Amino acid sequence: MDLNLTAIIFVAILANNIVLNQFLGICPYLGVSKRIETSLGMGMAVIFVMTMAAIVTWVIYTVFLVPYDLVYLRTIAFILVIASLVQLVETVLKKINPTLFRALGIYLPLITTNCAILGVALLNVQAGHNIIQTIVYAIAAAIGFTIAMVIMAGIRERLDLADVSSYLRGAAVTLVTAGILSLAFMGFRGIMTL
């Protein structure tokens, strides 16, 4: 079990990074990775929401959908859970920790349509993880997302000062950069497999 968890963490962060390898969460990745501080903020929010969403969706899947033969309702149930969860997190956070709310607040609504959250929730149930593996995978995947985004932010901060052709400025050069980053992360494959 322990070796399995280590493998899950390694694979989620490096070998099968959810952004650079599985293409989940591209929209916020391209949109928020302009500066390192905002990337870190978004990353924290994602770690927070992704873990909670993974746990709640796993519980709903295992306790309600599977025993009552309602697996086809998976998409609807999961997305409604995620949308409500984000709403709930926003409200609760505003009440109990206004400082944290102000730090994370703007990113939370963006996270609902983040395909990474729904994607990781689906990946967990598809892989048949138990609850511990689900939590570990969600945290690790979110950390992988954060690392990828912070690296990208560091590069983009420098790219802003570089002389990029006007046709490639903006999303185009960011995508090519992401491609090179993805190529770099490919080097981690094969070191450890699940």
Partner 1 sequence: MTTLAQEFSKGILKENPVFRLLLGMCPVLAVSITAVNGFGMGVAALFVLLCSNIVISLFKGFIPARVRIPAYILIIATFVTIVDMVLNAYASGLHEALGIFIPLIVVNCVILGRAEAFARKNTLSRSIIDALGMGIGFTLSLTFLGIIRELFGAGSIFNIEVMGAAFQPMMLLATAPGAFITLGIMLGLFNLIFKRLGIE
Residue numbers at the binding site for partner 1 (CB under 8 A): 20-27, 30, 72-76, 78-80, 83-84, 112-115, 118-119, 122-123, 126, 165, 167-168, 171-180, 182-183, 186
Least Å distance, CB 87 to partner 1, is: 8
Least Å distance, CB 16 to partner 1, is: 10
Nearer to partner 1 (CB atom), residue 59 or residue 175: 175
Show the tokens assigned to 14. Answer: 């490096």
Nearer to partner 1 (CB atom), residue 10 or residue 78: 78
> What are the start-end ranges of the H helices in 160-188?
171-186
Spatial separation of the C-alpha atoms in residues 149 and 27, rounded to whole Å: 12
Least Å distance, CB 3 to partner 1, is: 26
Nearer to partner 1 (CB atom), residue 173 or residue 192: 173
Least Å distance, CB 156 to partner 1, is: 13
Nearer to partner 1 (CB atom), residue 100 or residue 106: 106
Contact (CB, 8 A) for 49 and 89: yes
Nearer to partner 1 (CB atom), residue 100 or residue 105: 105
- DSSP-derived secondary structure letter, 71: G
Show the tokens assigned to 24. Answer: 């989940």
Least Å distance, CB 109 to partner 1, is: 9
Q: How many residues does the chain have?
A: 194
Spatial separation of the C-alpha atoms in residues 45 and 121, rounded to whole Å: 16
DSSP state letters, 59-100: HHIIIIITTTT-GGGHHHHHHHHHHHHHHHHHHHHHHH-HHH
